[in-house]
Amino acid sequence: MENFWLIILGLGIGTFLIRFSFVGFSHRFHITPDWKELFSYIPACLFPALIVPGLFFDQGQVQWLWGKEKLIVALLALGVSALTRSILWTLGSGLLVLYILR
Amino acid sequence: MSSLFRKGFFAMLPITVGIIPFGAVMGSVAAEAGLSLWQSSAMNLFVFAGASQLATLDLMDQQAPWFVILATGFVINARFFLYSAAFAPWAKESPTAMKMLSSFFLTDQSYAAMSSQEAHFKTSRDGLSFYLGACLCMFFAWHGSVTLGFIFGNFAPSSWNLDFAIPLSFMSLLVPSLKNRKYAAVALFSSFISVLLSGLPLKLGLLSTAIVSLIFVKLFLLRKTTWKIFGSSS
């Protein structure tokens, strides 16, 4: 693979600069309470997009759940997560239920 | 080693259940694409962002032109602008070297691990220590699993559905940051938007969902005040 090292270097530097962008200049601007409040919504704005599409469009194997077993198990796990606030319980119960269903 | 650093490290451990199978895939794909172990490890070290690594590796394998490969990688990683903005307050008072180090390790999971514990940090330094601990754990998990995947092929047993651990762990990291109904409403809104926008290429659905949702927040949920970017707060 020609150019491999140049591409990796470019990709590495560029990705670092994206990550560094706001952090690097954070001391230059005053983060007002308004911005802080807006930033506090970033998890709620971003994480669902990491979670939902993959579950929604998953074509699973369990026929009596129309192949939507991941979506249904995830909703159960959401309940577990809200009750226990524990990643271990959420992961453990979610993975176990999906394993049993399949 | 401060206790918060250790807490961050251990908080990340369960999350690695989802990261390790992904790393195994990454390593096996790198080996199949004809990379040497050196090249695979260097890519991991310099880029440290799985989704963009998989996509660019695929393009390299297809002999795509270099600017296409770079542009693809940058578009996929553009979401880090948002993480950088969200993380900035925590690194604000740190020296430049620390800002660089903490930015270098910024990933979806390490930011998520920290933000889910936000309420427990008294100072931004506390948050930063916790975050760095989480980053170290993430670093070991990612490099370890990619290396093992490179050597042994995809080792994760597929019947365990370990890839399902990724959405599950993000879900359980999201829940604590939904402080009240407003946040829950925003999460519902962005779930809906993410499904609508999921057809966009290059994982652009992710970034565009976040931007649409932030605009929604700004327009409908925040107090109507005059906004200043620079200068003191009003």
A64 assigned to some structural domain = yes
B197 assigned to some structural domain = yes
Closest residue in B to A6 (Cα) is B66
Residues B90 and B155 in one domain: yes
- Cβ-in-10-Å burial (0-12, 13-18, 19+) of B192 comes to middle
Looking at residue B139, its pLDDT comes to: 96
Residues B184 and B160 in one domain: no
Residues B40 and B135 in one domain: yes
B56 assigned to some structural domain = yes
B59 assigned to some structural domain = yes
Closest residue in A to B176 (Cα) is A85
DSSP A29-72: S---HHHHHHHTTHHHHHHHHHHHHHHHS---S-GGGTT-HHHH
Residues B62 and B78 in one domain: yes
Hey, is B71 helix, strand or coil?
Answer: helix
The mean predicted confidence, pLDDT, of chain B is 87
What length is written for chain B? 234
A80 assigned to some structural domain = yes
Which structural domain range is residue A54 located in?
A: 4-29+41-101
B30 assigned to some structural domain = yes
> What average pLDDT does this structure show over B35-56?
91
A35 assigned to some structural domain = no
Please report residues of A whose CB lies closer than 8 A to that of B205: 49, 53
- Residue B205: half-sphere exposure toward Cβ, Cα within 13 Å: 21
For the stretch B72-84, pLDDT in tens is 899 889 889 999 9
Distance of alpha carbon A40 from alpha carbon B37, whole angstroms: 40
Whether B178 shows a pLDDT value over 90: the answer reads no
Contacts of B20 (CB under 8 A, 6+ apart): B141, B144, B145, B156, B162
Residues B214 and B112 in one domain: no
B229 assigned to some structural domain = no
Q: How close does chain B come to A69, measured CA to CA in Å?
A: 11
For the stretch A67-100, pLDDT in tens is 788 888 888 888 888 888 888 888 888 888 888 8
CA distances from B79 to A43, A94, B118, B210, B231 (A): 12, 27, 20, 9, 27
Residues B186 and B147 in one domain: no
Whether B233 shows a pLDDT value over 70: the answer reads no
pLDDT band at B58 (very low <50, low <70, confident <90, very high): confident
Contact B187, A44 (CB under 8 A): yes
Residue in A18, A33, A85 nearest the CB of B176 = A85
Nearest partner of B102 among B118, B80, B119, B120, judged by Cα: B80
Residues B121 and B148 in one domain: yes
Domain total of chain B: 2
Candidate from A55-64, B80-89, B173-182 with smallest mean pLDDT:
A55-64
Domain total of chain A: 1
Give percent of chain B with pLDDT exceeding 90. Answer: 45
Looking at residue A95, its pLDDT comes to: 84
pLDDT band at B232 (very low <50, low <70, confident <90, very high): very low
Looking at residue B134, its pLDDT comes to: 96
Looking at residue B229, its pLDDT comes to: 56
Looking at residue B114, its pLDDT comes to: 93
Please calculate the CA angle B183-B86-B209 and round it to the nearest 5 degrees: 60
A36 assigned to some structural domain = no
Contacts of A79 (CB under 8 A, 6+ apart): none
Nearest partner of A16 among B84, B110, B56, B12, judged by Cα: B84
Residues B18 and B133 in one domain: yes
pLDDT band at B228 (very low <50, low <70, confident <90, very high): low
Looking at residue B200, its pLDDT comes to: 82
Would you call A19 and B66 a contact, using CB atoms and an 8 Å cutoff? Answer: no
A55 assigned to some structural domain = yes
Residues B34 and B131 in one domain: yes
Cα of first residue to Cα of last residue in chain A, in angstroms, is 41
For the stretch B114-162, pLDDT in tens is 998 888 898 889 999 999 999 999 999 999 999 999 999 888 777 777 7
Which structural domain range is residue B94 located in?
A: 3-177
Would you call A45 and B48 a contact, using CB atoms and an 8 Å cutoff? Answer: no
Distance of alpha carbon A45 from alpha carbon B189, whole angstroms: 8
> What average pLDDT does this structure show over A29-47?
84
A34 assigned to some structural domain = no
Residues B194 and B165 in one domain: no
